[in-house]
Amino acid sequence: MKKLNIVLCLIVAIGFATSCIDSKIDNAEVKLVTAEEMQSILELEDVQLIDVRTPNEYEEVRIAESQNIDFQSPTFDEDITKLDKNKPVILYCKSGRRSAKCAKKLKDAGFEKIYDLDGGISKWKHSDKIKIEVKS
């Protein structure tokens, strides 16, 4: 069963890799991903996992190993310049609205690979597909 999961993860990753070939020509394309797809990407690529919620939201519950860059912060545009435009970015927020707006900003800023967690952390926080850290 474990080998089957690894094979499925590799198939998903290969699908993502080949589907992004055209996006390099058109700058970046934002791809909505499920929690399972996100986990595969995290395992197979060197990715920047960004939580775009407020620091208070981030403190309460977050995906493990993510970093917080508050989309509503007045320093947001400056903060994203510290990210590597050549490395893939996975964005998430509570429901997907802020991360979609952030994805557009990253696309406009020249980022090459942008993934957005479909439905945000609310949709996936009870899933066994991703590691969630909760304030105790």
Q: Spell out the domains of the chain, with CATH numbers in brackets.
A: 2-134 (3.40.250.10)
d(CA 42, CA 97): 22
pLDDT digits (tens, 9 = 90+) for 47-94: 999 999 999 999 999 999 999 999 999 999 999 999 999 999 999 999
pLDDT digits (tens, 9 = 90+) for 118-132: 999 999 888 787 888
The C-alpha R_g of the chain, in whole angstroms, comes to 15
pTM of the model: 0.77
Burial of 1 (0-12, 13-18, 19+ CB in 10 A): exposed
